[in-house]
A and B are shown apart, each in its own frame.
Chain A
Amino acid sequence: MTSIVPLAGFAILNLRNFETALSDTVVNNMAFIADKKADKINHYIEDSREKIRSLSYTPDVVMLFEELQKNYKKGIHSPAYQQTENNTRHVLTRMISDYDYYDLLLIDTSGEVIFSIKKELDFATNLQTGRYRDSILAESFRQSMDFLTTEFSTFTHYEPSEGKAAAFTTTPLLKNGMPIGVLAAQTNLDSYYPIVTDSTGLGKTGEALLAKKIGDTVFFTTPRRYTTEINRGVPIGQLAKPMVAALNGQRGQGISVDYAGHSVVAAWRYLPDLHWGMVVKIETNEALAPFIQLRFYTFLALGILMSITTAFALLLGKSIIHPVNDLIQVTKKIAKGDLTQRVPVYRHDEFGELAQTFNHMASQIKQGYDNLEHRVQSRTIELVSAKESAEDALTQLKTTQNTLVQAEKMAALGGLVAGIAHEINTPIGITLTSATHLSAKTDKVAKLYEQGELAENELNAYFKLAEKSTQLITINSRRAADLIHSFKQVAVDQTSGERREFDLNRYIEEVLLSLKPALKKTMLKIELDCPEKFIINSYAGAISQLLTNFIMNSLHHAYEPNQRGVLSIRVSRINDDMVQLTYSDDGKGIPMELQPKIFDPFFTTRRGNGGSGLGLHIVYNIVYQTLKGSLTFQSAENGTTFTVQFPRSLP
């Protein structure tokens, strides 16, 4: 269908072009014909003038004229005149034999028509005084006499010739520059017709019209095709445009409407010789016949073509739409979930193939879907048992983890105990040594006293020794007691896990004290910055474990042996109800790639050296689970900082 539209458009465009081209050609044709006719008319007139003028120069004619003039006075029936008249007729007839003149006349200066071949009523009358003094011949005569010109008058009714329309070619006969008479040739309109009515190139409906205007009335000088009125004047207002223009002196051509209302191709001209307007026209139906025919056949062809293609298109459409619809329906059903739907296959062409392929695809999909179901089911079963195994493993792992944590705690505790024992050993040793020494010295002094050999200086020495020893014993006993006290605190707290109100500052100091033995081997210092009398209500044991683990980690990982360093603990209040505890060392820091793992259980870089990997994991748990707080850290090459935030008072 769509191919028809541009074709139709092309055809219409072509038609239009053809119409324009043909119109132009036809109009130009009319213009050409009109100009040729005008030329022909002009030539006819010119020829006549030439002819008569040269006739007037002929000495014979002048001579005969003078003779006629002389003999005319004797009377037209006189033998002299008759003879001259005969001669003249003879000569003149021969001279105009090749020309179609109706009559030839000779007129003398007074206006007397002294000769005429035809001898109509104008013969032997006077054109100045006689009956025909207002006739066209008389006017022409005067013209030639006055102006010495050879004139072709216009066609008008000439009474002497039974009112027939006639024109006169008149010329003066000159002698010595003075006119002696006038030679006149009469042309009747009927002999003029053939020139005008020659319808070459005007086809069946074409005609050439000539008209003259007298006042506001127009008289057609040729018979017209569509009216029988000749010589009855037409008011100029009733004239068709082309003739009006022609009579107005205009020259042109184009498509217009004629006096009978037909659309015509016309050319209009003004003929100055006759003061006539000329219109040459042909009906557009005839002129544009080729175009009209072409248009008819084009539209017919287009029409037929269009109906054929429409029928074809409909048929084709039907054969396409039907299977497509089937396909759409089945696709919809499948989309809804019914995978058993199939497209009916009943053709052997591309659509059949499409249907078959589609069905195959649908079967594949269904099969795949069924397989998938099956696979999903078995996968699910596998997953469930895997899950159960995983869950078992997890439970076991958790149990193991708890055991290990406990073990670690025990180990830590054991380490702590060992540490404490080591520490206590020293003051206890000193106490024992001092007490033993004092005891021995006392025995000695007592014996001397009993013998009465105690010297004063020995007694003084004994008193000094006793003072020093008791001092030592006191200090070291106190020291041992402190240590035990601290240990007790920590141990009790560790094992009891009791929540209580305590002074964080004093408590941390105690914890540090208990760790002193461990730190003694190192070049490390501990700094504590904590507000005094900082009462909190929390799990003291947890805090002690926390700090212990931090410190132990730094000890084990952050420093080379004998490297100097500072471990600093800072405690501060955040808001009213939160405590921030930061622990930092200035060791070598935790490498970037290990940082994500430090809280992982069993993660350690000291596996061979007795590291369990649980230290920071325990810290993590303590902070989040026991203290209900949060834990962050930062580590770089110049140290590590752990920041713990927890509620000051636990509910």
Chain B
Amino acid sequence: MSHSTINYQRISLLIFGLVTVIAIWNFFNQKPPQPIRIGVLHSLTGTMAISEKPLVDAVRLAVNEINARGVFKQPLEMVIADGQSNPTIFAKEAERLITQENVNVIFGCWTSASRKAVKPIVEKYNHLLFYPVQYEGLEQSPNIIYTGSAPNQQIVPAVRWALKNLGHRVYLLGSDYIFPRTANRIMKDFIRVANGTLLAERYLPLDSDGVDNIVQEIEKLKPDVILNTINGNSNAYFFKALSQSSVKETPVLSFSVGENELNHYPALATHYAAWSYFQSIDSPTNQRFIENYRQLVGDTNRVTSDPIEAAYFSVYLWAQAVNDANSFTPENVNISILQQSFHAPSGIISIDKKTRHTWKMLRIGQAQPDGQFKEVYNSQFPIRPEPFPDYHTKPEWAEIVNSLNNGKSTHD
């Protein structure tokens, strides 16, 4: 064997050995995959904190489950921002999350004010926001997915049910901002359609405790049902005052009182709530959800509610959309999200392609002494979302919203 042959063999062997060593070294020294950042924008401080903080936990539950199942090669990482119950801060934080923290999606907002502040931000950057709270509708942003109920899914059927089952003489009461005002506007239409009678339409400033006048009026008018769109602490004041009045057994159907809030009020059997989800839903999916949620927050008494459930399944819808699009970028996910459906604790939910809202069921629940709601009515099937209720065209609605914003009408 000539010397040159030996050298050739030796060199090949050396290279092979080197490559193997490098490969093995790389294999064992793999850098941990870069996490995928998702933004969570809720009020951790301020008046809305008590409602919004549990939503952060709900998102975390979904993120943990998805990471544990290894759905993606990289783990999801939450970037939590505090909106401080202030819409301006919400907008600033949304921008920061998008431009500096480079999140791929934002799960956030509760109040319509905060959502309206964040809307132009996500539209500017062609990003994606998941909004999990029931609201007044009349909006359809190309960069928001609305996983809370639209008015035709909550307000309209609930009003019909109330007028059918509780009575025709209606007292409208709400906090003074866009959601209650718009909700009442819609409710008035259906009170009329159902041949009901509107006795009064009253608004409390947010956080106000000036409920005495109202309770007195209620005592005087004696409505068959109070349709309640008060948001926040004022609810506590109102219910307390009502329970001490002579008309304390007046049926109240509330639209912003969930399990979380019910603990703080003296609840009566004449009190109802309208949601798509109640903690009392008796299904294995829901049982597991409640268990896991309680385990995560380390509190066996923690309650779940409609927004909590919506925040939870929003993450799963997004994850499915990412899988289908094979991409994390908001632009791509924004397209594939429109085809998603998911079996959530509240039942089957699907995204409606046309409206970017979610098909959801309506449930009416009766308040129980243990702080839970007992279901007394459900819509059987998920209701098609119509953020712009069918009976007016979009331009008509735009006009209505305008006039509401200008505070032109309190009665109609």
Residue tally, chain B, CB below 8 Å to A: 31
Given A148-B391, A177-B391, A272:B342 Cβ within 8 A: no
Q: Which of B157, B189, B190, B348 contacts A272 (CB 8 A)?
A: B348
Bound CA–CA A31/B389 (angstroms) = 33
CB <8 Å contact, A38 and B339: yes
Q: Does B167 sit at the interface, judged by CB under 8 A?
A: no
Given A177-B189, A269-B341, A272-B382, A249:B350 Cβ within 8 A: yes
CB <8 Å contact, A275 and B381: yes
Bound CA–CA A185/B35 (angstroms) = 53
Given A174-B391, A178-B192, A251-B339, A147:B157 Cβ within 8 A: yes
Given A148-B389, A149-B152, A250:B353 Cβ within 8 A: no
Taking the closest CB of chain A, its distance from the CB of B226, in whole angstroms, is: 21
Identity of the chain B residue whose Cβ is nearest the Cβ of A250 in the assembled complex: B343
Q: Does B309 sit at the interface, judged by CB under 8 A?
A: no
Taking the closest CB of chain B, its distance from the CB of A504, in whole angstroms, is: 75
Taking the closest CB of chain A, its distance from the CB of B148, in whole angstroms, is: 17
Q: Which of A46, A178, A248 contacts B193 (CB 8 A)?
A: A178
Taking the closest CB of chain B, its distance from the CB of A177, in whole angstroms, is: 6
Bound CA–CA A151/B390 (angstroms) = 10
Chain A residues with CB under 8 A of B192: 177-178
Q: Does B160 sit at the interface, judged by CB under 8 A?
A: yes
Identity of the chain A residue whose Cβ is nearest the Cβ of B389 in the assembled complex: A148
A158-173 interface code vs B (CB 8 A; 1 in, 0 out): 0000000000000110
Pairs A–B under 8 Å by Cβ, sample size 25: A39-B353, A42-B353, A46-B354, A146-B193, A146-B194, A148-B193, A148-B389, A148-B390, A149-B389, A150-B390, A151-B384, A171-B390, A177-B192, A178-B192, A179-B193, A248-B348, A249-B341, A249-B344, A250-B343, A251-B320, A251-B340, A269-B341, A272-B352, A272-B359, A272-B382
Q: Dominant SS at the B interface?
A: mixed
Chain B residues with CB under 8 A of A249: 341-344, 347-350
Chain B residues within 8 Å of A, Cβ to Cβ: 152, 156-157, 160, 189-190, 192-194, 320, 339-344, 347-350, 352-354, 359, 381-382, 384, 386, 389-391
Taking the closest CB of chain B, its distance from the CB of A29, in whole angstroms, is: 14
Identity of the chain A residue whose Cβ is nearest the Cβ of B392 in the assembled complex: A177
Given A42-B353, A172-B391, A147:B152 Cβ within 8 A: yes
Chain A residues with CB under 8 A of B347: 249
Kindly state the interface size class of chain A when it binds its partner. 20 to 34
Chain A residues with CB under 8 A of B344: 249
Bound CA–CA A174/B392 (angstroms) = 10
Bound CA–CA A35/B156 (angstroms) = 31
Taking the closest CB of chain A, its distance from the CB of B11, in whole angstroms, is: 22
Chain B residues with CB under 8 A of A273: 384
Chain A residues within 8 Å of B, Cβ to Cβ: 35, 38-39, 42, 46, 53, 145-151, 171-172, 174, 177-179, 248-251, 269-270, 272-273, 275
Q: Which of B189, B381, B390 contacts A149 (CB 8 A)?
A: B390
Identity of the chain A residue whose Cβ is nearest the Cβ of B351 in the assembled complex: A272
Per CB-CB distance, the 5 closest pairs between chain A and chain B, nearest first, are A249-B348, A148-B391, A272-B350, A249-B343, A272-B359
Chain B residues with CB under 8 A of A174: 391
Taking the closest CB of chain B, its distance from the CB of A39, in whole angstroms, is: 8
Chain B residues with CB under 8 A of A269: 339, 341
CB <8 Å contact, A147 and B160: yes
18 more contacts with CB within 8 A, not counting A148-B193, A178-B193, A275-B382, are: A42-B353, A147-B190, A148-B156, A149-B386, A149-B391, A150-B390, A172-B391, A174-B391, A178-B192, A248-B348, A249-B342, A249-B347, A250-B341, A251-B341, A269-B341, A270-B350, A272-B350, A273-B384
Bound CA–CA A371/B92 (angstroms) = 110
Bound CA–CA A251/B316 (angstroms) = 12
CB <8 Å contact, A35 and B382: no
Bound CA–CA A270/B359 (angstroms) = 12
Bound CA–CA A146/B160 (angstroms) = 7
Bound CA–CA A171/B386 (angstroms) = 14
Chain B residues with CB under 8 A of A35: 339
CB <8 Å contact, A53 and B160: no
Chain A residues with CB under 8 A of B348: 248-249, 270, 272
Taking the closest CB of chain B, its distance from the CB of A214, in whole angstroms, is: 11
The winner among A35, A148, A174 for most chain B CB atoms within 10 A is A148
Chain A residues with CB under 8 A of B190: 147-148
CB <8 Å contact, A272 and B384: yes
Identity of the chain B residue whose Cβ is nearest the Cβ of A251 in the assembled complex: B341
Q: Which of A42, A148, A177, A272 contacts B341 (CB 8 A)?
A: A272
Taking the closest CB of chain B, its distance from the CB of A44, in whole angstroms, is: 13
Chain A residues with CB under 8 A of B391: 148-149, 172, 174, 177
Identity of the chain A residue whose Cβ is nearest the Cβ of B285 in the assembled complex: A248
Identity of the chain A residue whose Cβ is nearest the Cβ of B163 in the assembled complex: A146
Chain A residues with CB under 8 A of B340: 251
Chain A residues with CB under 8 A of B156: 147-148
Chain A residues with CB under 8 A of B343: 248-250
CB <8 Å contact, B381 and A250: no
Bound CA–CA A150/B354 (angstroms) = 15
Q: Which of A38, A42, A177, A250 contacts B342 (CB 8 A)?
A: A250
Taking the closest CB of chain B, its distance from the CB of A340, in whole angstroms, is: 34
Chain A residues with CB under 8 A of B349: 249
Bound CA–CA A174/B382 (angstroms) = 25
Bound CA–CA A275/B342 (angstroms) = 13
Chain A residues with CB under 8 A of B352: 272
Identity of the chain B residue whose Cβ is nearest the Cβ of A144 in the assembled complex: B390
Chain A residues with CB under 8 A of B359: 272
Chain B residues with CB under 8 A of A46: 354
Bound CA–CA A148/B160 (angstroms) = 11
Taking the closest CB of chain A, its distance from the CB of B203, in whole angstroms, is: 23
